[in-house]
Amino acid sequence: MNFSAPFFELLRSLLPEFTLLGGALLCLLAGLSPTASVRRVTALVAVGSALLSTLVAASMSHLPQSGPGPVDLPELPTFLKIIIGLLGSLLLMGVAKVPDRLRQVLDAENAKPFVAGDDYRGEFFAFTLVSMAGAMLCAGAGDLVWLLLALELVSLPSYVMIACSRDDGRAQESAIKYFFLGAMAAAIFIYGFALMYGATGHTGIADIRAHVQAHGVSNLMLAGVALSVVGIGFKIAAAPLHSYVLDVYEGAATPVTAFLAVIPKIAGFAALILVLGTVGWFPSKDGRGVTALPPAIWSLLAVMAMASMVIGNTLGLVQKNVKRVMGCSSIAQSGYLLLGLLAGPALMAGDGAVEGSAWERMTVHASALASTNGLGALCVYLTVYGLGTIGLLSALGCLVDKHGHDATGWDSLAGLRHRHPLLAIIIALCSLSLMGLPVLGGFVGKIMLADATLAAHSSLAVVLVLFLVLNSAVSAAYYLRLTHVVLLGSDNNQLDLLPVQSRRVAALTAAIAVLAMGGFLAGPLLRAANRAAGMKTVEMDMQTVITSADGR
């Protein structure tokens, strides 16, 4: 059998995904083991597989991209895979004990003899790893068929995870809603993919991009991209396909809610970058930037962004359940993140040859270093949003009320500081970061999104940034309310602490990272994100500039 070199290079680019799928197989085997001690390490196997996948992706970051890269950004898939692996590891630590509270699993563990088919601990953790693998596949997809399968690989396991995460009818109801609305959304973006194929005759993303660049954007292509964007909007919980979010987030177990809020959103934005790159972001003729998206697509994204911000934050003001509040937050945060797509990739590009005086060249250099491109800002804010959401919901998942139910009501969380001060501080920090309080990661991320959007020098861009600022101010009402409840509320003695050490570690790690992202880690993360998003700055030695200026 004759395999070409590109085939083996493609397999190498998929090593992080193969690592996750191998971990999923090990989880299945561990969950079926007749030895109880082996079954108990299933969660540890899952976490280890996610961390190993992250290390594999990081080890490939210095190598030339072997697989297909999106929109001429060969480093972006690897960067997103690292983020998925890191955040996924924290999420797996959060869901570690979810199956252990289920009636069927408890009955299976106590049964003599043990019947492997009655214990679905292994399947649960395998599904989490498979969903993460689907998200990684979205990041590096090179074909519409591949992208379609990857998107569904993210969603299909999550339906089962929701249904079996709680011994409560609301979990099954949420899974059914999520399944049927997900099927509708899939039908929308599949039809969009079909129109894109009909307009170009290609399914390969690079081939479609080349065809559009050579022949222009047809109306059929615009219709296909528009439908694809709307359908994929379901994955990121953006308007108009946002209606499932509150019920599904409330119905799932709290750690599973965190998983739903993070992994599908990253996968959805990775898919949107691929789809949008087929009709825009081409190198400009002067070599100093990229072309804009078609006006119709840009307008569609702008409407989705503004609608998501307004709907999410308005609904958040009237919720009485913290998980529903986080659902509203997820919708609004998608609106903020869409600004990164509207800003697009780097404005500075080229080979570094800048004309003009030494002062002009130094000014261009400084501007390039200071600027943030849209996709870089998107990657930064995805990371910060993921950490804030994981920290808040993981801390919340450590708590139950006196009846053993998830403590998600305002009243049940009152005075958390008096009983569990560390968890109260974690919830407050992550909540304030999502709000955008200065010195925390969320503020840095929003500043980057606003800076990248304003770089478009458009009156509409100014309107979008105003929407970002005003809606962040509106969101302060429910974020500050949550902070006040846990830190300043009166203790009502309604909370018990679950013995889930890994979940507390995940929450604490995420909170520390949120603090660091607002400080010393902000610069390195921004540089890495900008590099992955294709931002090229003019490299020059300052002494050379000074010498050149003196010579002139």
Q: Is the Cα torsion angle 97, 100, 101, 105 positive or negative in sign?
A: positive
Amino acid residing at 238: A
Residue 81: which of 24, 149, 150 has the closest Cα? 150
Contact 394, 95 (CB under 8 A): no
**Is the pLDDT score of 337 beyond 70?**
yes
Kindly give the interhelix angle for 219-232 and 295-316, rounded to the nearest 10 degrees.
Answer: 20
Contact 13, 66 (CB under 8 A): yes
Residue 303: which of 275, 267, 339, 276 has the closest Cα? 339
Residues 6 or more apart in contact with residue 6 via CB below 8 angstroms: none
Give the pLDDT band (50/70/90) at residue 105.
confident
pLDDT, position 516:
93
Give the pLDDT band (50/70/90) at residue 312.
very high
For the stretch 478-503, pLDDT in tens is: 999 999 999 987 777 777 788 889 99
What's the CA gap between 431 and 435, in Å, rounded?
6
Amino acid residing at 213: Q
Give the pLDDT band (50/70/90) at residue 535.
low
Give the pLDDT band (50/70/90) at residue 352.
very low
> Both tokens of residue 492?
């009502």
User: Percentage of residues in the chain with pLDDT exceeding 90?
Assistant: 59
DSSP 282: P
Q: Mean per-residue pLDDT for 428-440?
A: 94
256: number of Cβ within 10 Å: 28
pLDDT, position 545:
33
**Is the pLDDT score of 367 beyond 60?**
no
What's the CA gap between 238 and 301, in Å, rounded?
10
Dihedrals φ, ψ of 405, to 5°? -90, 160
What's the CA gap between 484 and 398, in Å, rounded?
19
DSSP-assigned beta bridge partners for residue 476: none
DSSP-assigned beta bridge partners for residue 143: 204
Q: How many residues does the chain have?
A: 552
| Range with the poorest average pLDDT among 93-97, 203-207, 273-277, 532-536 | 532-536
Contact 325, 485 (CB under 8 A): no
pLDDT, position 302:
95
Report which secondary-structure segment, H or E, holds 391. helix 374-396
The two counts, helices (H) then strands (E), for the chain are 25, 2
What's the CA gap between 349 and 1, in Å, rounded?
43
pLDDT, position 357:
41
Rg of the chain (C-alpha set): 24
> Both tokens of residue 96?
């570690």
Give the pLDDT band (50/70/90) at residue 7.
low
Block residue for tokens 């060249």: 361
Amino acid residing at 105: V
For the stretch 19-53, pLDDT in tens is: 999 999 999 999 888 888 888 899 999 999 999 99
Q: Mean per-residue pLDDT for 271-294?
A: 83
Distances (CA, A) of 279 to 68, 235, 304: 17, 21, 18
Residue 91: which of 479, 392, 436, 408 has the closest Cα? 392
**Is the pLDDT score of 442 beyond 50?**
yes
Q: Mean per-residue pLDDT for 86-107?
A: 88
Dihedrals φ, ψ of 400, to 5°? -135, 155
DSSP-derived secondary structure for 178-225:
HHHHHHHHHHHHHHHHHHHHHHHS--BHHHHHHHHHHH---HHHHHHH
**Is the pLDDT score of 543 beyond 50?**
no
Amino acid residing at 93: M
pLDDT, position 183:
94
What's the CA gap between 114 and 74, in Å, rounded?
49
Residue 504: which of 97, 38, 105 has the closest Cα? 97
> Both tokens of residue 329?
């937050």
**Is the pLDDT score of 538 beyond 50?**
no
pLDDT, averaged across the chain: 85
Buried b (16+ CB within 10 A) or exposed e, 87-110: bbbbbbbbbbbbbebbeebeebbe
